Amino acid sequence: MSVSLYRTMQLIRSSEEQLARCHARGLVHGACHTYVGQEAIATGVCAHLNGDDAIFSTHRGHGHALAKGMPPGELFAELFGRETGCSRGRGGSMHLFSPEIGMMGTSGIVGPSILQAAGAGYSFSLRKTEQVAVAFFGDGATNNGAFHEGLNMAAIWKLPVLFVCENNQFATEVPFSDAAGNPDVASRAAAYGLPGLQLDGNDVVAISQAAQEAVARARSGAGPTLLECKTYRTRPHSEGMGDYTYRTREDVAAWRERCPIKRLRATLLAAGEATEAELDAIDAEIQTHVSQVSAAAEQAPWPSPGAATTHVYSPVRSVVEPGVSATRELSFAAATLEALDQEMAANPNIFVFGEGIGIRGGNFGTTVGLYAKYGAQRLRDTPIAERGFVGMACGAAMTGARPVIDFMFIDFINDAFGELVNQIAKMQYMSSGRLKMPVLLRGCIGIGHAAATHHSGSYHSIYSHIPGLRVVIPSTPYDAKGLFLHALRSDDPVLFLEPRELMAVKGPVPTEAYEIEFGKARILREGSQITVVGIALMAQRALAAAGQLATEGISVEVIDPRTVSPLDTATILKSVRKTGRLLIVDEAFAPCSLGAEIAAQIADQGFDFLDAPIRRINGAFAPTPYSPTLEAAVIPALDQIVAGIRRLAHE
Amino acid sequence: MPIDITVPRLGWSMEEGTFAGWLVPSGSPVTVGQPIYSLESDKVTMDVEALDAGTLHIPDDAPVAGATVVVGQLLGHLLQGNEASPRARATALALGIDIATVTPREGATRIIEADVLKVVRPAAKLMEEAFRAPHFYLHADADATALASLRNALLPLLPKRVSYNDILIKAVAVALKQHPRLNAHWVDNAIVQRTQIHIGLAVDADDRLLVPVIRNADQKSIADIAADRAALVERCRQKKATREDLADGSVTLTNLGTFGVDRFQAILNPPQSAILAIGRIAQRPVVVDGQVVARLTVPISLSVDHRVADGLAAARFLQAIVELVEAPLRLALIQ
Ligand SMILES: Cc1ncc(C[n+]2csc(CCOP(=O)(O)OP(=O)(O)O)c2C)c(N)n1
Ligand SMILES: [Mg+2]
C-alpha cells in the first residue's frame, strides 16, 4: 500500500520535472502550473477513490489527473497541444478532462471545482449511487464565494463530498496570511457545520488516513468533510515566472528539504516495507517511462483545424411539433408546469433548485403540486446562493443528473454569470462532447408591474452571445410547453425565459407531451408589405399592431423567433424577400442586441431584398424605473409600434 | 443620399428670414445655379440658387411661403439619381432598366421596387392582365414581293441596315394614324384615347423580353426608325434601357418569323389594345387568276382588346396594314 503511494508520488514528480523541461524547450505552448512539493495530497486522497468517484480540480491539476489514473502520455500530449491529449488539445495545463476515469475536469478559474464537486455529490445522493466527489482547491479559493456557498450547501444536504484545500500559503504571489481574516482554514468548517481537519500536507500517510475516514463518512451518508493540507509548492507559480520577489530562496530551500517523497521513502525504509534498491528501481522505471511518453507525445499528431468548432452543442434532435389545434386552454405558467410534471414523472434524474419552489410551489406557481409528488430532494429549496447552486448544477449535470434552476426573476442569474458562461456553456466543448450539460435555467423577464430595475431585465442578448448556451423565449402557452419539454430533454444548457406579462395569459395547449425544436421561428401572422420580428411580449404587441394596421390596408407579417440562440434567420430572410421591409421590436436594450444581430444578418444575406432601411424599436437604454409613468416611458408601447410600422411601410 | 437644402445666411447679421416660396415644383430636375426658392431677410429678397443638381423634393412639413425660417433650417432635399433601395436596384438590373431613369413616387425620397415595376411590370402580372382582356384575333397574309424589293433598294442607300421590322413599324404607324380607334388604351375600366403614335417592338435581350418603343413613328422616315430601333435594341441588350425607352407604346409589333415561325397569335401588352404578330416571310402557294403560283408572303395576325375596338374597326386597321405592306413605296415617301 505505502509503496504504491510512493510510486504515484514519484510518477507525479518525474512528470512535472519533465514537463518543466519541455516548457523550457517550447513544447508546452501555454501555462504550466506544476505540482512539485504537493504530491502527497492528490496521492493520499485518490488512494481511497474508486474509478467512478469524481474529482474536480484547478489550474494546478496535473498531479490530481495522474493520481486518479490518467496515463501520463495523455497529460503530456495535452500540454503539447496534440490530438491524443486528454482534452484532445482543447485545454492544455489548466483544462484537463478525462471523465471516463472520474477526472471530471480542471478549471482555469479559481473556485468552481468546489461547487461542481458539491453538485456531483447532489447527483450521487439523488441517484443513490454511493459515489463520492472530491474538490481540490488552493488556499486562494477559500476566500472566494464559491467556498462559502459550496460548503454550506454540501453541509445542509449532507452531500458525499471531500473538500480538499491545498494550502500552499500563496495565491500566485500573495501570501495567504495577508489575504485571510482567519488563516486557519480548517476552523472555518465550523461556520457551515461540517468537520474540518488540519493536516500536514507533506505527510502522505496522514493524508491517506484522514481521506480514508472522510471518504467512508461521505459514502455512509454522514456528509462532507473539509481537509486543510498545509504544504508548499517548491517551483514557481507557473513555469517561467520569477519566484523570489515574494518569498526567499532560503524558505524554498527549507521546504525542499521537507519533500513528501523523501519523507515517505524514509518511513518505508525505517518500517522495512521496502529496500533502497527496490525504491531506486521504482525511481528508474518511472524515469524511463516518463521519458518515453514525453518523446512519444512529441511525435503525436496535431488536432485537425477542422475540429476546432465541434461539440459546442450536443447533436440536434429533430422533432415534429403538433401545431396549435388543441381546444383546451392553459396559462403560460400552467403549460410549463404540465411539461415539467410529465417529464419529472418520466425521468427520475430531473431535480429542481430554487427559492420557494418546494412546498410553496414557486413564486409564479411554476412547481405547484410537484413537491407532494416528487419530494424534497427533487424540489429543493435552496439558500440564496445563485452562484453556488448554478455551479452545483454544472457538477450535477456532469455526473448524470438533469438540474432545473428556477430563478423566479432572471435578473438573479447575473450573480452566477461566471459559472454559466465559463463553466456550463464551455463544458461540452472542452470535454470534446464526452460530458453533457443538461441544465435548464428558467426565470421571468420583462418590464411591468412596477417591478423596477432588479426584477425586470431582459438579458437574452447577452446570453445569446455565448457559444454553448441555448436561449429560448416563448410568447404563447403552446410554445411554452413544447419548448420547455424540448429543453428538459436536451443535453445542452438552456436559458428558458418567461415574459412576465404573458405568464398568466391563456391559450390552447395539447394535453400530451410534445416538443418544439429550437431554432424554428413561428409566423404569427402572414402579410405582404412589411416584416415585423417581435420577441417575448413584443411578439404579441406586434401582432396587435398588425391587426390595427390591417384596417388601414397595411399588410404586416409578424414573426416570433421563439428561440434567440439558435436564431431562425432563414424564416426572417424568406419573409423579407417577400416584403422588402424589416422592423425588429424588442424591449431589451438596442446596442449589441438581438435586433442588431438580425439586422446584420439580413443586411448581409438579404441586402438586395430591401426596399428600405432595417429599423428597430427597443426599450430605452436605461435601467427600469419604478413609477408607472416612468416605466411606460422605457418600454415600446403599442401605438409606438403601430407608428413605427406605418412609417416604415411608407418609407 | 439626398442633399439637404437649408436656409443660408444672407449677410453677416441674419439669423432668420421669411421664406417667400419655391420657384420650381417638387419633383422637377434642378441644375447647379438654377434659382429654386426666394428668401427675404430684413435687407434683401433673393432668389437662392441650387448649389447641387438633383431632383427637388419638398417634404410635406416644409415651410410655406410667408413662414419665418432660421438660418440652417431644412427646407427640402435634392434627390440624387442613385437614391434607390437595394431591392429596387436588384430588380432594375434583372429587368434591364437603367435605375437613373426611374423616379420615386410622389412624396417619397427613395426609389423602391414598386417604382421600377411601374416602368416594366413583371411578365407574370402583365400576362394576367392580358388574359383578363377579352381578346379576338384576325389573320391575313400580305404579298411581300414589293416589301422585299423596297428593302433591297434601301439597303445600299441608308447608313443603318434596314430590317423588315423597320418598314413594318412604319406601316403600322401610318395605318394607326388612319384608324385612331386602335390607338387607345384600356385603363381603369375606361378607354383612354391617345394622340401620339409610339410603336413597341418586342426584343429578346439576353433571354428577357423587353419592348422598347419607337416614338412618333408615324412622323419618322424609315431611316430614322432604323436608327432609333438599332440604338434601342443595343441599350436593351446592354441593360441600359431607360424608362423613356420602354414606356408608353401605342401598339406592339412582335416578329418570330426570323425564328422560323410561320404564323402565331400574340398576347396583348396591357394597357395597349392591339398587338401584331408577324410570321415568316417565305414563298407560299397562292391562287392568282385561278392558277396556283408561288409568291413571297408575310402572315400577319392582329390581337385586339374587344373592350376598345370591335371586329370591324380591327379588320379595317388590318386591311390598311396589308395594303401598305403590299404597296410600300408610299411608306418610303411619307415622312
Ligand atoms: C477567478 C479567478 N481569479 C483570478 C485568477 C488568476 N489566478 C490564477 S491562479 C491564481 C492563484 C490561485 O491561488 P490558489 O488558489 O492558492 O492556488 P495555487 O496557485 O496556490 O495552487 C490566480 C489568482 C483565476 N484563475 N481565477
Ligand atoms: Mg495557494
Instruction: Please give the mean pLDDT across all residues of chain A.
Output: 97
DSSP 3-state of B301: strand
Within this chain, do residues A42 and A187 fall inside the same structural domain, yes or no?
A: yes
| CATH code, domain carrying A582 | 3.40.50.920
Within this chain, do residues A235 and A354 fall inside the same structural domain, yes or no?
A: no
Residue that terminates a domain, selected from B70, B93, B119: B119
Within this chain, do residues A401 and A252 fall inside the same structural domain, yes or no?
A: no
Domain count, chain B: 2
The pLDDT value recorded for residue B114 is: 87
Within this chain, do residues B95 and B128 fall inside the same structural domain, yes or no?
A: no
Is the residue at A112 inside a domain?
A: yes
| CATH code, domain carrying B276 | 3.30.559.10
Task: Give the H or E element holding residue A585.
Answer: strand A582-586
The pLDDT value recorded for residue B244 is: 78
Within this chain, do residues A71 and A203 fall inside the same structural domain, yes or no?
A: yes
The pLDDT value recorded for residue B129 is: 77
Residue that terminates a domain, selected from B87, B119, B151: B119
Within this chain, do residues B65 and B27 fall inside the same structural domain, yes or no?
A: yes
Is the residue at A316 inside a domain?
A: no
DSSP 3-state of B93: helix
Query: Ligand 2 mean position to A174 CA, how many Å?
Result: 9
Within this chain, do residues B99 and B134 fall inside the same structural domain, yes or no?
A: no
* Residues A541-570: tens digit of each pLDDT: 999 999 999 999 999 999 999 999 999 999
| CATH code, domain carrying A376 | 3.40.50.970
User: Which pairing describes strands B190-193 and B184-187: parallel, antiparallel, or unpaired?
Assistant: antiparallel
The answer to whether B87 faces chain A, any CB pair under 8 Å, is yes
Range of the domain at A374: 329-508
Is the residue at A317 inside a domain?
A: no
Is the residue at A193 inside a domain?
A: yes
Alpha helix stretches (DSSP H) within A376-426: 386-398, 417-418
Within this chain, do residues A282 and A358 fall inside the same structural domain, yes or no?
A: no
d(CA A271, CA B12): 107
d(CA A36, CA A23): 15
Within this chain, do residues A72 and A107 fall inside the same structural domain, yes or no?
A: yes
Contacts of A636 (CB under 8 A, 6+ apart): A538, A541, A585, A587, A617, A618, A619
Residue that terminates a domain, selected from A508, A543, A572: A508
The pLDDT value recorded for residue B188 is: 78
Range of the domain at B239: 123-333
* Residues B69-112: tens digit of each pLDDT: 999 999 998 877 657 899 998 888 877 777 877 878 877 778 89
Q: Is the dihedral of CA B123, B125, B128, B132 positive or negative?
A: negative
Q: How confident is the model at residue A373 (pLDDT cuts 50, 70, 90)?
A: very high
d(CA A505, CA A334): 10
Is the residue at A308 inside a domain?
A: no
Within this chain, do residues B67 and B201 fall inside the same structural domain, yes or no?
A: no
Within this chain, do residues A280 and A333 fall inside the same structural domain, yes or no?
A: no
At A376, the amino acid letter reads A
| A321, burial (CB in 10 Å: exposed 0-12, middle 13-18, buried 19+) | middle
What secondary structure letter does DSSP report for B7? P
ipTM score for this prediction: 0.74
* Residues A142-182: tens digit of each pLDDT: 999 999 999 999 999 999 999 999 999 999 999 999 999 99
Query: Ligand 2 mean position to A270 CA, how many Å?
Result: 32
Is the residue at A312 inside a domain?
A: no
Q: Which residue do the cell numbers 461566471 mark?
A: A418
Q: Ligand 1 — pocket residues by CB below 6 A?
A: A 59-60, 108-111, 138-141, 168, 170-172, 237
Within this chain, do residues B278 and B220 fall inside the same structural domain, yes or no?
A: yes
Residue that terminates a domain, selected from A508, A536, A571: A508
The pLDDT value recorded for residue B125 is: 67
Within this chain, do residues B291 and B255 fall inside the same structural domain, yes or no?
A: yes
The pLDDT value recorded for residue B285 is: 94
Within this chain, do residues B55 and B78 fall inside the same structural domain, yes or no?
A: yes
Within this chain, do residues B34 and B66 fall inside the same structural domain, yes or no?
A: yes
Within this chain, do residues B139 and B214 fall inside the same structural domain, yes or no?
A: yes
> Ligand 1 pocket test: which of A60, A94, A110, A235 has the largest number of ligand atoms within 8 Å of its C-beta?
A110
First to last CA, chain B: 46
Which residue, among B187, B182, B159, B178, has the nearest Cα to B251 in the 3D structure?
Answer: B182
Of B86, B108, B114, the CB nearest to A607: B86
Is the residue at A324 inside a domain?
A: no
Q: Is there a contact between A380 and A425 (Cβ–Cβ < 8 Å)? A: no
The pLDDT value recorded for residue B124 is: 62
Q: Which residue do the cell numbers 417604382 mark?
A: B115
Q: What is the DSSP string of A4-34?
A: HHHHHHHHHHHHHHHHHHHHHTT-S-S----
DSSP 3-state of B62: coil
Phi, psi of A350 (to 5 degrees): -85, 135
Q: Is there a contact between B79 and B111 (Cβ–Cβ < 8 Å)? A: no
d(CA A590, CA A124): 44
The three grid cell numbers given for residue A301, joined into one nine-digit string? 499528431
The answer to whether B95 faces chain A, any CB pair under 8 Å, is no
Q: Is there a contact between A221 and A156 (Cβ–Cβ < 8 Å)? A: no
The pLDDT value recorded for residue B160 is: 82
Q: Is there a contact between A473 and A495 (Cβ–Cβ < 8 Å)? A: no
d(CA A411, CA B256): 72
Phi, psi of A198 (to 5 degrees): -100, 130
Domain count, chain A: 3
Within this chain, do residues B75 and B188 fall inside the same structural domain, yes or no?
A: no
Within this chain, do residues A348 and A376 fall inside the same structural domain, yes or no?
A: yes
Name the residues of B annotated as catalytic: 306, 310
Within this chain, do residues B137 and B81 fall inside the same structural domain, yes or no?
A: no
| CATH code, domain carrying B97 | 2.40.50.100
Active-site annotation holder among A23, A62, A455, A486: A455
* Residues B124-155: tens digit of each pLDDT: 667 777 778 888 999 999 999 999 999 999 99
User: Helices A638-650 and A537-550: crossing angle, nearest 10°?
Assistant: 60
Within this chain, do residues A366 and A285 fall inside the same structural domain, yes or no?
A: no
Residue that terminates a domain, selected from A478, A508, A538: A508
Within this chain, do residues B147 and B162 fall inside the same structural domain, yes or no?
A: yes
Is the residue at A159 inside a domain?
A: yes
Q: Is there a contact between A243 and A250 (Cβ–Cβ < 8 Å)? A: no
Q: How confident is the model at residue B209 (pLDDT cuts 50, 70, 90)?
A: confident
Within this chain, do residues A176 and A204 fall inside the same structural domain, yes or no?
A: yes
Within this chain, do residues A71 and A161 fall inside the same structural domain, yes or no?
A: yes
Residue that terminates a domain, selected from B94, B119, B144: B119
Within this chain, do residues A384 and A264 fall inside the same structural domain, yes or no?
A: no
User: Which pairing describes strands A329-331 and B203-205: parallel, antiparallel, or unpaired?
Assistant: unpaired
Cβ distance A611 to B89 less than 8 Å, yes or no, reads no
Query: Ligand 2 mean position to A167 CA, how many Å?
Result: 5
* Residues B51-65: tens digit of each pLDDT: 988 888 888 788 999
Cβ distance A607 to B112 less than 8 Å, yes or no, reads no
